[in-house]
Structure 1
């Protein structure tokens, strides 16, 4: 378990932590969030519907109108319109929650859903595609780089690993900001994220390298936020077996002078098994880390890719 001071903060829909705040007086407790991730993160529960004064239990609300700009109205009392209060609360919380590193939203919610929330026509039929919850839309508009995800999607091991990788990257960036941005700090940060970026988005890795390579006399305070936005966009793209395999091969190259022919053959065999889907990512990584413990390389030792999140979360055991 991480010491409390080291835990990144994640905002979360309160019902996912077991709070009985839903319209029917119930909750939607997520075992992943409320029992497993609490060892690694400080959660900040938020229920926008209760916060704006709606009771428990309460009349459900739903989205109506234009999916791009829907209104949140009562399902019984059509004159109940909480669009403005939800949007205002989203903007207020975006201003208050400046130290969070991620947000987990309740899916399908007319206030908190991130995508495909049902939007209704005036006649009661649903529109194709759906929309985004009013509160979530207002909040995310003011935190475009923040890692956000819906609870249901976290059941997918690839999406779960991707989201938490981004949360820890966001936390690392916040830590860098507290030290003060410098050219050296930016260059070192990018160097540590080299292979993680290559796994997620090889093209963007080169673009970011070029951005810092042309830093020249640019003010790091101005360049930094642009770099970070591009970094978070790159990490949002899920790494694949092909891109992970490419990175594993790069890492194995640092061992070619250090390990025996027999060990090299075993490394290649295990990387091949991962590429074919026979073993999960943790298997070749564990073998590589074993060899790097025997034959340390200072450049590889600093690579975030080897451990982008706490090992006990076992996120790479399922991908």
Structure 2
């Protein structure tokens, strides 16, 4: 409902324009995006199938990896169908409530992935620094509880963003979102009102999750490296370090891309908008795309089972 030329009252439909400035090229941009999505979908589904069907992989490290794969599938699926609809089928419209739900899913799965990476780091820390106690500490019950806890933490932390938008804002400057998916600040900036509280809470969630998880992940790997380099046998050092390589690669690509996207959005005002949107979209797709490739190449047990499946 229009109140004036400048404001819209409680819009029922929003418009996603995709990547501003590259509208004529979006049909071509959709091809590599779709390819990454398919690799993420197939690769993570294969990981889940192998971990589920192979009894020897029913260990905490691989269970956490299965959780990561399921989260990656959900994260990529929450954005790609609509994004490809914009790029290929010129379908930019999305219900307002549907947009809020997509925003909640995206940020919840991002927070969940960060929590799982922390759980994987702690698992490796106990396995390498206290190997005799690992089986008694990381029981299947604890692993299940950790998975439930990181998911619940993410859902609860992100939920107030929806409430703040839904309850505080009724008037909007526009219904057009200059983005390819529904992101928190992209929606907030549409509102005709004081958005300071929403911005502060969004930053609070980002820094709470990233700060807490990143701190303990870093401390875990510092302790792991100290322990590994103090091992007497060279072969033992190599084996212990090799089990962490895949985790470190996944951890680095997730957080480096996250910080790059965050800082370009907050402090890159001179950078063209299409670069912001393109890189933020790539940031959401790269972890689900790369994670199964990294673990498939660097984890011996998974690599063996993949070869076994292909040869049978």
The two structures have a TM-score, normalised by structure 2, of 0.25
The higher radius of gyration belongs to 1
Q: Which has the higher helix share?
A: 2
Which structure has greater strand proportion?
1
